Amino acid sequence: MRMTVAIDGPAGAGKSTIAKLLAERFNLMYINTGSMYRAVTLKALENNISSNNVKLLMDVINIMEMHFENNELILNGVNINNELTLPKISNSVSAYASVKEVREKLVEQMRAMSLKFNVIMDGRDIGTVVLKDANYKFFLTASAEERADRRYKELREKGLDVKYDIILEDIKKRDYLDTNREVDPLKKAEDAIEIDTTGLNIEEVVNKISGYMEK
């Protein structure tokens, strides 16, 4: 039987890190849906296309060939993973991800992947939209302060000069945009298991989720 796992939650809740480790433990293909939206944002910014220009956005998406290798996104044959977490992408992705046509196109691609492979996906609307019939659904949360601290440390380790207060402000802004957008807002699926990761390390969260999946 095909296995599908959905992990949702706000920015910085640890979704991607947790999903990658679960993919390894349960031999699943990890599909980082957030990276796909970030890739669209990257190409849009490179081509000076605003989130309001739907036609040009769709033209760009139609020539984007995306797939994952070793948990990293390959766009048109190039590994762009390191570019996707830059502040300019993080600050703009919500606007592009809110475009109805963009979401519909990417959701179509995500579902196609789930029909071919045993997959685990993380994002904002996996359990509510993309994989409504997933075998397992989890919703990860954490305080805005803890999520900002995680992102701050991640970016500092990459050598970027960032300020915690600005990251916290961006996190709160993204939370508001993600939960209040008209198209597929961030919300917990009714049948999802909620896990608060505040104060938990990665191994503790992975073990907790694994416990549900191994039952």
- Annotated binding residues for ATP, as ranges? 9-17
- Binding-site residue set: 9-17
Whether residue 4 contacts residue 134, with contact meaning beta carbons closer than 8 Å, is answered with yes
The CA distance from 54 to 59, in Å, is: 9
Structure-block tokens of residue 178: 């993600």
Six token digits for residue 179:
């939960």
Report d(CA 60, CA 47) in Å as an integer: 9
Residue from 8, 158, 134 nearest 83 by CA: 158
Q: What are the structure tokens assigned to 132, written together?
A: 């409504």
Cβ neighbours of residue 178 closer than 8 Å, sequence gap 6 or more: 10, 11, 94, 124, 185, 186
Cα–Cα distance measured from residue 150 to residue 142, given in angstroms and rounded to the nearest whole number = 11
Distances (CA, A) of 114 to 29, 51, 103, 111, 119: 9, 28, 16, 5, 6
Adjacency order of strands within the sheet including 66-69 = 66-69, 72-75, 78-79
